[in-house]
Structure 1
Amino acid sequence: MARPPGPLLLLLPLRFLLQLAAAGRPCGPAGLPQDTVLGHLGGNITLTCQDEVPADGTVLWQVEEQGAAGSWARQLAEGNTLLLRRLRYKDSGHYSCSVGSQLLRSLRLLVAEPPETPQVVCYRRSHDKDVLCEWPQHKKPSPGTLATLWVKRRFVAENATEQQCHYFSKARKFVCRLKVPPGTDDTKPLVVSTCVSNGAGGSAGKDKIITLSGVLKPDPPVNVTVEAVEKAPQRLQVNWSYPPSWDPRFYWLRFQVRYRPEPAPTFTEVDQVTATWLDIRDAWRGTRHVVQVRAKDEFSHGTWSEWSQEAVGTPWTDPWDLTSEMEPFSSQVPMEDGTYGVTLPPNLFRQDDTNGARGSVMESSTQPVASPYAFLVTGGSLLLGIALFVGIVVRYRQMWLTSGQETTKPEGEGQHMLVPLSLPPPTLSDTPLLSQPAPSAPGVLHTTQADYSSSGQ
């Protein structure tokens, strides 16, 4: 025998019917009221007073307008029909036609566009915040458009909670706020239904099944900074802060960091960052880097936040590694003719060159640029050599003078010549005792007989 269906099986169809009823909730007006004409924005429309043109008078059209002082009728045109071109929202109002003082017909013109179908996205900024549901609008909604959201627990026979949504013109989207009662289970599924309606019709969005933990989406981190590390040309220190909407005293976040040097098109990503800082150790030398950070619940509930605003930084650069724009000259550049050129900075030129003075190459001598230290070493060596030479000359000059006095003697030295006593001595100027000696080396002392005579020898 077949077993009778249990209570759970009997309740399933009822639950599905409740879901279908919620999904099939009427959205928007059933139809336009009588004597109401719908006009589309930017289009044309023709209003008709009567099927047949009255023969006893002229038909006059007028529109009722509202002002601070009240309402009044503004005259428009004559004729059984009234043509309105390029409709605007402000053309909506009550139009009437009359012959004299007799009212023939009164119409209400509504200029509106059917609302767009909502594509709802729900998120929660932290565990202690309400749920926000929103959807974008490609066009500005027509005046009088209403947006409504219903939320209820899934598989529970209870009335849905209704929330009115608001349109934000700058963001061009509808936003609804769901109040979360304290103690609500974050894992229980909820059903969210939406409806947007105006005089031109209504549009319902698809029901969305959410959980409070599943829609958790933090705000992006703030105060992202990138700093260089001294004497580390390939390191960058990245720091950031928790978003103000997240309280780190009870729940933490984990982060993901991405960075790239500006010439590179793709990012390098670092996952599972639990601190609010990161030390990048593979940065490009001397290149500016772009860095962004995003956050997620520490237990991976929900989704990642949006990326933070871009922060930029450049690794530390050795102050001696100067570029050609900062140095007096960058280097000696080999020229095509075998000579060398020197790259000069543009600030050495008094006038701007049409070809650009930046990076201009000026021809110079083929001799390398001499260092001032070479001049000092050469001059010192030369002075030392001169001093040594002078010392040697002075020393050997004394030796030369001494040796000349000991070796140079006149002829007949050591001999005693006999001179007759009776004969007078000869004149010294006429009868030299010694012949003229041959020239000798400089510094040798020459001795003559006159010297011996004057000395008493």
Structure 2
Amino acid sequence: MANIVTSFCCVVLAAVVVVYAQRRSQQGGRIQYEKISSDVTMQCGSLDNDASVTWKVNGTDVKARRREEGPRLILMEVNMSSNGLYSCFQNPDGQRRDQINLRVGFPPKEPQVTCRSNTYPRGFYCSWHLQHPTFIPTDFEVDVQHNQRPLEVTRDTVHKNRCHVKFPELFSSSPYYVNVTAVNSLGRASTTISFEESSIVKPDPPEKVVAKPVANNARRLEVTWNSPSTWPDVETFPLKYFLRYRPLIRDQWQHVELSDSTSHTITDAYAGKEYIIQLAAKDMEIGTWSDWSVAVHATPWMEEPKPITSTTESDVIPETTPGPPSAAPRVGEPTAACSTLLWSTHLLLACVLLSIM
């Protein structure tokens, strides 16, 4: 009975080893990250220094500049073409001993960080990016502090390089500190920025902008819009608006600043000219102007030309009663001219005969 249990355990263990080896093979071996332009050393498993091995990359011979020292492969000044799955086989039986997935890239530089509140007074968000690609996976660590206390940071579910922070208090004069650290297998780099609450307030642009002509007025356009839907409390924290417009035939904009209103009538439009219209929004007291809204186009009202229906007496053509149609000459019927000519011929012939007699 003990032998049967022992045999069963050995079979199970062998199956586990096979599955593990297959999964490791499917995953492409262990990953090794290295810096571009550096010399890279890859070790074939745990073989002794005097072991003899053969290296292949993606199933073919290694053609890059290299040096081989026992179980080690040294690639010279690697670049992006050096990426690949490297396999080593022990001589002379040719058994594969190791697989290395080489990935080359750069350590990160300091990220660029900006913060903005478009949902004031609820909170703000910060976003960041790297000016230069690293070509290998890079993560970001974010730390936000206010009054020397860390604040809760929520990572955005859609934008991977963005986080959200709630304001711990309003109308605070104490600065906020945001630190973003870029980290990958080759290094790390950090950027810290500071700001006051009032300096990052920037609404989203106005929405649903509509421009229509005003009936019976060739120089007016009626413009309406909605507050940005992301602004949570427009009653308590009202917005002011900046309207700009111009005809397509000109490059110069005309501007109107409006307080706490979501409509305006343009009264100096050029008759019959198409206009382009945009709006921006801003908190009444703090922050900066939003970006411009999506442009809309409109043309002032134009009177339709009236059709010409009246005529004078001299232009009237008198009506005439048509007479009976003239009889068309029929084929073979002699006309009056033909009859006269025939009679003259007979008379001349008679005169000639009398003179002979």
Paired residues of 1:89 and 1:142 also in contact (CA < 8 A): no
Alignment of 1:234-253 (within 5 A): 234-246=219-231, 247-253=233-239
Shift of 1:268: 1.1
Task: Find the structure with the greater CA-based Rg.
Answer: 1
Task: String of CA shifts for 1:22-47, please: whole Å, max 9, x gaps.
Answer: xxxxxxxxxxxxx966143xx79765
Greater CA drift, 263-272 or 305-314: 263-272
Is 1:305 aligned to 2:290, yes or no? yes
Is 1:146 aligned to 2:139, yes or no? yes
- For 1:195, the equivalent position in structure 2 comes to 181
- For 2:193, the equivalent position in structure 1 comes to 208
Q: Which amino acid aligns with 1:124?
A: S
Task: String of CA shifts for 1:95-135, please: whole Å, max 9, x gaps.
Answer: 65643479999867342332242221111112243210113
Shift of 1:261: 0.5
Alignment of 1:50-449 (within 5 A): 59-61=53-55, 75-77=59-61, 80=68, 81=73, 87=80, 91=84, 96=88, 98-100=90-92, 109-138=102-131, 142-154=135-147, 156=148, 158=149, 160-161=150-151, 163=153, 174-181=161-168, 183-205=169-191, 207-246=192-231, 247-299=233-285, 301-320=286-305, 372-375=311-314
Shift of 1:305: 0.9
Q: Structure 1 88/211 Cα, relative in aligned 2: closer, same or farther at 3 Å?
A: farther
* Larger RCO of the pair (alpha carbons < 8 Å, separation 6+): 2
SS in 2 for 1:375: helix
Q: Structure 1 135/88 Cα, relative in aligned 2: closer, same or farther at 3 Å?
A: farther
Task: String of CA shifts for 1:268-321, please: whole Å, max 9, x gaps.
Answer: 11113421011111111111100000100122x111111100011000111128
Q: Structure 1 240/48 Cα, relative in aligned 2: closer, same or farther at 3 Å?
A: closer
TM-score, length of structure 2 as denominator length: 0.63
Paired residues of 2:118 and 2:202 also in contact (CA < 8 A): yes
Shift of 1:161: 4.1
Paired residues of 1:257 and 1:293 also in contact (CA < 8 A): yes
Paired residues of 1:236 and 1:281 also in contact (CA < 8 A): yes
Q: Structure 1 36/162 Cα, relative in aligned 2: closer, same or farther at 3 Å?
A: farther
Paired residues of 2:105 and 2:136 also in contact (CA < 8 A): yes
Task: String of CA shifts for 1:347-400, please: whole Å, max 9, x gaps.
Answer: xxxxxxxxxxxxxxxxxxxxxxxx831426898xxxxxxxxxxxxxxxxxxxxx
Paired residues of 2:108 and 2:130 also in contact (CA < 8 A): no
SS in 2 for 1:133: strand
SS in 2 for 1:320: coil
Paired residues of 2:35 and 2:107 also in contact (CA < 8 A): no
CA RMSD of aligned residues (A): 4.0
Matches of 1:46 and 1:137, distance apart in 2: 25
Matches of 2:42 and 2:112, distance apart in 1: 40
Shift of 1:143: 4.3
Matches of 2:110 and 2:119, distance apart in 1: 28
- For 2:34, the equivalent position in structure 1 comes to 38
Paired residues of 1:95 and 1:109 also in contact (CA < 8 A): no
Q: Structure 1 237/270 Cα, relative in aligned 2: closer, same or farther at 3 Å?
A: same
Q: Structure 1 97/212 Cα, relative in aligned 2: closer, same or farther at 3 Å?
A: farther
Paired residues of 2:108 and 2:182 also in contact (CA < 8 A): yes
Matches of 2:196 and 2:140, distance apart in 1: 22
Q: Which amino acid aligns with 1:303?
A: T
Matches of 1:89 and 1:185, distance apart in 2: 55
Contiguous gaps of at least 5 residues in structure 2: 1-30, 319-357
Paired residues of 1:293 and 1:308 also in contact (CA < 8 A): yes
Q: Structure 1 230/36 Cα, relative in aligned 2: closer, same or farther at 3 Å?
A: closer
Q: Structure 1 277/164 Cα, relative in aligned 2: closer, same or farther at 3 Å?
A: closer
Paired residues of 1:254 and 1:295 also in contact (CA < 8 A): yes
Matches of 1:134 and 1:37, distance apart in 2: 27
Matches of 1:44 and 1:374, distance apart in 2: 102
Q: Structure 1 372/98 Cα, relative in aligned 2: closer, same or farther at 3 Å?
A: same
Matches of 2:115 and 2:74, distance apart in 1: 47
Between Structure 1 and Structure 2, which shows a larger proportion of strand residues? 2
Paired residues of 2:115 and 2:200 also in contact (CA < 8 A): yes
Paired residues of 2:79 and 2:104 also in contact (CA < 8 A): no
Paired residues of 1:239 and 1:277 also in contact (CA < 8 A): yes
SS in 1 for 2:80: coil
Matches of 2:51 and 2:196, distance apart in 1: 69
Matches of 1:90 and 1:228, distance apart in 2: 62
Question: Percent identity among equivalent residues?
Answer: 25
SS in 2 for 1:120: strand
Q: Structure 1 189/236 Cα, relative in aligned 2: closer, same or farther at 3 Å?
A: same
TM-score, length of structure 1 as denominator length: 0.51
Matches of 2:132 and 2:185, distance apart in 1: 16
Contiguous gaps of at least 5 residues in structure 1: 1-34, 64-73, 322-326, 329-370, 380-457
Q: Structure 1 219/49 Cα, relative in aligned 2: closer, same or farther at 3 Å?
A: closer
Matches of 2:261 and 2:277, distance apart in 1: 16
Q: Structure 1 100/131 Cα, relative in aligned 2: closer, same or farther at 3 Å?
A: farther
